[in-house]
Structure 1
Amino acid sequence: MIIDAHQHLWTADYAWLADPSLTPVRRDYTLNDLRNQMSVAGVDRTVLVEAGLGSSAETTSFLALASAAPEIAGVVGWASLTSPSLASDLDRHRAGAGGELLVGVRDQVQGEDDTFLDRPDVRDGLAVVAAAGLVNELVVRAAQLPSVVRAVESLPSSTFVLDHLGKPPIASGDMAPWLSVMESLAALPNVVAKVSGLVTEASWTSWKPADIAPYVQAAVSLFSPRRLMWGSDWPVVELASTYSQVKDLITDVLGGPDPDVFAGTAVRTYQLEIM
């Protein structure tokens, strides 16, 4: 069993795709496209993650889609952590089609300032997600990682998932500051990290496996495989690589398809029901 713990679907009209650098991925990506990629790469199940639309309607549609797609084992939906209706929004999603597949919530924290996660209203939102029994998923920039440490410390009863290893500065090669804060984060038992999105933090056109390997190896040393999960970050990955290439890259760095990184951690963290 191979589980891709992080992939997206979107349509060409998503606002953030207007950035000229994203032209190669500015098109509709459908369930059939996903199935083709999974088949080639030998992937059995995926976790579908919100794709930056910033709308409850996206979460509703993703859950309905997943309910009819056995390949999608869970959905990390979007919700605003500062919304006063957060609890009722989550209840509504869970009562709708595919609601049982909602496994986590992600806001677009990477678009906020470096101390967004320190705000009392944001912390309240994280607590609402945790009280609902859902994972708090965090997509952040490396500069926001100190605030991630503080947020994780403040909610020991919540499970946090850090996307893309916190977006380390692979292109610049300035590993030391990232490594220092990741050491602090890994010391907290209620956080799991995704080995995903790394090739797009390197040079899109000239990255090499040797650029990525030190960050993966550091993550294994800090978190252990039982607190790491692999994600393709498809279709974003197509800016720098392919679905199969990034799976093979992480497999090679790990010395094989580690059963925790490639399935077990995702099943435990998201409480996936795999048939």
Structure 2
Amino acid sequence: MRIIDAHHHVWDLAVRDQDWIAGPELAPLRRDFTLADLEPEVRAAGVSATVLVQTVTVAEETPEFLALADGSDLVAGVVGWTDLTAPDVDHTLASLRELPGGERLVGIRHQVQGESDPQWLLRPDVRHGLAAVADAGLAYDLLVLPHQLPAAARAAALHPELTFVLDHVGKPPIAAAELEPWAERVRALAARPNTVCKLSGMVTEAAWATWTVEDLRPYAKTVLDAFGPGRLMFGSDWPVCRLAATYGEVVDAAHELTHDLSPDERADIFGGTAARVYGI
């Protein structure tokens, strides 16, 4: 079974600060994390390809990531960032494709979770940008909080030509052991056929020091039932996952949560869905 890690990050603090890494709880992340750090972890876990995902809303990061992918036999795709509200977003996307590594641009993401407007995805200028992403043949990664899921579902309905990829199962309150209203909202998103979901980011939504696979299971089952294996993809969320688990522990948890599925279903989650959605 070919395993693709559909969601990880890297950063070099000498190149650019990661201003979201603030406070004592996130202090373990305030250091450089490079592909050289990641590679032994993924090789040990049997991962053969990865998708590198943006971390900050800075235009220069995406070309840097594309160049990094261009020189790597591990990074098969890049989910970058560009200003969706810019009038010339279509030209920007075309220009990114022409850069070294531009053929590895597979998606665009914005930290919608940080927007105060719960309807941000439905703004006319944002919708213009989403249409440009679709026209460019790219996917759109959704980084949203549970209260923003209804707007995400509406955006997916309004843009059936665009594939929306829900990151981190929509960030449910796992540490509080609360399923609703997240579960109802995520099922409404999954009802749109142009949506898929990453089985990622759950360990850092759980209690970092004490989580168990059983804590994650109700949330994994919800998205598995809602999206089906053919619309789920595994992601590690490394190095953020290190706040709660090692890379190997995240991979092991995903294997345990999908243990009862058929070999074909597990092959979809651990590689097939990512390969199809991102064109890897």
Counterpart check, 1:261 vs 2:269? yes
SS of structure 1 residue aligned to 2:210: coil
SS of structure 2 residue aligned to 1:259: helix
CA deviations 1:196-255 (Å, max 9, x no partner) are 000101111111111101111111111110000000000000000011101100101110
Greater share of helix? 1
- Structure 1 residue 19 displacement after superposition: 3.0
Counterpart check, 1:213 vs 2:189? no
Using the size of structure 1 for normalisation, the TM-score is: 0.96
| Aligned structure 1 segments of 4 or more residues deviating by more than 4 angstroms | none
CA distance, structure 1, for counterparts of residue 29 and residue 45 of structure 2: 19
CA distance, structure 2, for counterparts of residue 89 and residue 56 of structure 1: 10
- Structure 1 residue 3 displacement after superposition: 0.4
Counterpart check, 1:80 vs 2:83? yes
State how 1:188-207 maps to structure 2 within 5 Å.
188-207=192-211
- Structure 1 residue 169 displacement after superposition: 1.0
- Structure 1 residue 18 displacement after superposition: 2.8
Note the aligned Cα RMSD (angstroms). 1.1
SS of structure 2 residue aligned to 1:137: strand
Pick from 89, 104, 107 the counterpart of residue 107 of structure 2: 104
Using the size of structure 2 for normalisation, the TM-score is: 0.94
Counterpart check, 1:54 vs 2:65? no
- Segments of structure 1 that go 5 or more residues without pairing to the other structure are none
- Structure 1 residue 57 displacement after superposition: 1.0
CA deviations 1:126-167 (Å, max 9, x no partner) are 111111111011101111101101100110111110101111
- Structure 1 residue 41 displacement after superposition: 1.5
Identity %: 50
* Partner AA of 1:95 in structure 2: E
CA deviations 1:103-135 (Å, max 9, x no partner) are 000011110021111211111111111111110
SS of structure 1 residue aligned to 2:65: helix
Pick from 58, 61, 74 the counterpart of residue 71 of structure 1: 74
CA distance, structure 1, for counterparts of residue 75 and residue 147 of structure 2: 32
Partner of 1:2: 3
Counterpart check, 1:234 vs 2:242? no
Partner of 2:40: 36
* Partner AA of 2:177 in structure 1: G
CA distance, structure 2, for counterparts of residue 228 and residue 146 of structure 1: 19
* Partner AA of 2:278 in structure 1: Y
Counterpart check, 1:172 vs 2:176? yes
- Segments of structure 2 that go 5 or more residues without pairing to the other structure are none
SS of structure 2 residue aligned to 1:104: strand
Whether contact under 8 Å (2:52, 2:79) holds in the other structure is yes
- Structure 1 residue 176 displacement after superposition: 2.0
* Partner AA of 2:101 in structure 1: G
- Structure 1 residue 102 displacement after superposition: 0.2
Report how many residues are paired.
271
- Structure 1 residue 263 displacement after superposition: 0.3
Partner of 1:123: 127
CA distance, structure 1, for counterparts of residue 145 and residue 190 of structure 2: 17
* Partner AA of 1:44 in structure 2: S
- Structure 1 residue 75 displacement after superposition: 0.4
CA distance, structure 1, for counterparts of residue 25 and residue 216 of structure 2: 22
Pick from 139, 144, 155 the counterpart of residue 140 of structure 1: 144
CA distance, structure 1, for counterparts of residue 279 and residue 135 of structure 2: 16
* Partner AA of 1:261 in structure 2: I
